[in-house]
C-alpha cells in the first residue's frame, strides 16, 4: 500500500484535463494536502533523451513496436523517478494522462495490438494502478471547437473526427470495464461546475 493517493486525468484533447487538474491541485493545497502535479510524457531527463530519439528525423525507420517500447521506457522512468517516490512519501499525485491514453490513442484510435500495449503498460508501470481515473467526457465536436478556439469544427477533415470518436468510445469502454477505477465526469458546462463534479467524484480520496 502506498501512502499517497494517485489520481489520473484522462479524456480527448480539449476535454479540460489540464484546467481541472490545476483546479483540483489548488483545492488540495488550500486544504494543506501535499500534492504533486505531473504529466505524460513525463518530463524526466531520461525521458527527454528518449523523446529526442523519437523525434529525430534520422530515426525515421523506427518500427511501430520499437516506438511503443521507447514510449514505455519513458513511462517507466516517470513512474520510478517521479510518481512512485511521491506516493511513498504520502503525497497526492495528480497526473495529466497515463496508461489509458496509450490504450485509447494507440489502441482504439490507431488500431495497434491491444494485448501488446497492455503488456507494455503493465511492465512500464510495475503494475501501478491509480486510485482513480477522472475521465472527462465531452463530445468530439466540443473538444475540437475548444482546441481550435471556437472555430467551426466542420472545417476539419472527417477522418480526424472519426479518429477522436474512436478514442472517446475507447475511453468509455474502459470506464465500463474498470468501474472501480474510472469515474466518468461530464466535461461540458462552466469550468467551476466541472470542478464541483470532480470534487464529488473523488471526494473519498481527498479527505485529509
Ligand X SMILES: Nc1ncnc2c1ncn2[C@@H]1O[C@H](COP(=O)(O)OP(=O)(O)O)[C@@H](O)[C@H]1O
Residue 24, interface with ligand X (CB under 6 A)? no
Task: Report how far residue 83's alpha carbon sits from residue 76's, in angstroms, rounded to the nearest whole number.
Answer: 10
Residue 107, interface with ligand X (CB under 6 A)? no
Residue 17, interface with ligand X (CB under 6 A)? yes
Task: Report how far residue 184's alpha carbon sits from residue 66's, in angstroms, rounded to the nearest whole number.
Answer: 33
Task: Report how far residue 206's alpha carbon sits from residue 6's, in angstroms, rounded to the nearest whole number.
Answer: 11
Coil, helix or strand at residue 69? helix
Residue 199, interface with ligand X (CB under 6 A)? no
Residue 104, interface with ligand X (CB under 6 A)? no
C-alpha separations of 80 from 88, 124, 133 in Å? 11, 9, 20
For ligand X, which stretch binds (CB under 6 A), given 8-16, 65-73, 83-91, 176-184?
Answer: 8-16
Residue 15, interface with ligand X (CB under 6 A)? yes
11 binds, among ligand X, Mg ion, none (CB under 5 to 8 A by kind): ligand X
Distance in Å, CB of 128 to ligand X, minimum:
22
Residue 153, interface with ligand X (CB under 6 A)? no
Q: Dmax of the chain from CA atoms? A: 50
Binder among 4, 9, 16, 18 for Mg ion (CB under 5 A): 18
For ligand X, which stretch binds (CB under 6 A), given 6-14, 24-32, 71-79, 160-168?
Answer: 6-14
Binder among 4, 7, 14, 82 for ligand X (CB under 6 A): 14
The C-alpha cell that represents 204 in the structure block: 473519498
Coil, helix or strand at residue 4? coil
Give per-residue burial for 41-71: e unless 16+ CB within 10 Å, then b.
Answer: ebebeebeebbeeeeeeeeeeeeeeeebbbb
Distance in Å, CB of 60 to ligand X, minimum:
28
Residue 39, interface with ligand X (CB under 6 A)? no
Binding interface with Mg ion (CB under 5 A) = 17-18
Binding interface with ligand X (CB under 6 A) = 11, 13-19, 146, 189-191, 194
Amino acid at each position: 500500500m502506498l501512502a499517497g493517493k494517485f489520481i489520473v486525468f484522462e479524456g480527448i484533447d480539449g476535454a479540460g484535463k489540464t484546467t481541472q487538474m490545476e483546479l483540483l491541485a489548488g483545492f488540495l493545497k488550500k486544504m494543506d494536502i501535499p500534492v504533486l502535479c505531473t504529466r505524460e510524457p513525463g518530463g524526466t531527463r531520461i525521458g527527454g533523451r528518449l523523446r529526442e530519439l523519437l523525434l529525430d528525423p534520422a530515426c525515421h525507420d523506427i518500427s511501430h513496436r520499437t516506438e511503443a517500447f521507447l514510449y514505455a521506457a519513458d513511462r517507466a522512468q516517470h513512474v520510478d523517478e517521479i510518481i512512485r517516490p511521491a506516493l511513498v512519501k504520502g503525497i497526492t499525485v495528480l497526473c495529466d494522462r497515463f496508461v489509458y491514453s496509450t490504450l485509447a490513442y494507440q489502441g482504439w484510435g490507431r488500431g495497434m495490438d491491444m494485448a501488446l500495449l497492455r503488456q507494455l503498460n503493465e511492465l512500464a508501470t510495475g503494475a501501478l494502478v491509480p486510485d482513480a481515473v477522472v475521465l472527462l467526457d465531452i463530445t468530439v465536436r466540443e473538444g475540437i471547437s475548444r482546441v481550435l478556439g471556437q472555430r467551426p469544427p466542420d472545417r476539419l477533415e472527417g477522418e480526424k473526427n472519426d479518429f477522436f470518436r474512436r478514442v472517446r468510445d475507447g475511453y468509455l469502454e474502459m470506464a465500463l470495464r474498470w468501474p472501480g477505477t474510472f469515474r466518468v465526469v461530464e466535461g461540458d458546462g462552466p469550468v467551476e461546475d466541472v470542478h464541483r463534479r470532480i470534487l464529488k467524484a473523488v471526494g473519498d480520496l481527498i479527505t485529509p
